[in-house]
Amino acid sequence: MEQSFGGPLGILIAGLGMCAFYTALIWINLLLGMFLTPLFLIPLTWVQDWWMARGKTAQA
């Protein structure tokens, strides 16, 4: 006997699954933004400090 989740129950199950998927997608994107942003910003500040120090020695 074949079973399927068609009808109202299937719509509810599919809706819950999609809701869980998109919630997880938003959550992982927020975590990636919070943890990966400093990995790029901190070395960028080192480059800016080096660039500013180089400019000051060239002027002196």
Confidence category of residue 1, pLDDT binned at 50, 70, 90: low
Q: What is the pLDDT of residue 59?
A: 73
Torsion angles phi and psi, residue 8, rounded to 5: -65, -40
Whether 36 maps to a domain, the answer reads yes
Q: Global pTM?
A: 0.58
Whether 1 maps to a domain, the answer reads no
pLDDT digits (tens, 9 = 90+) for 4-60: 777 888 899 999 999 999 999 999 999 999 999 888 899 999 999 999 998 888 776
Q: Which domain holds residue 23?
A: 7-60
Q: What is the pLDDT of residue 55?
A: 82
Q: What is the pLDDT of residue 56?
A: 84
Whether 37 maps to a domain, the answer reads yes
Whether 18 maps to a domain, the answer reads yes
Count structural domains, the chain.
1
Whether 2 maps to a domain, the answer reads no
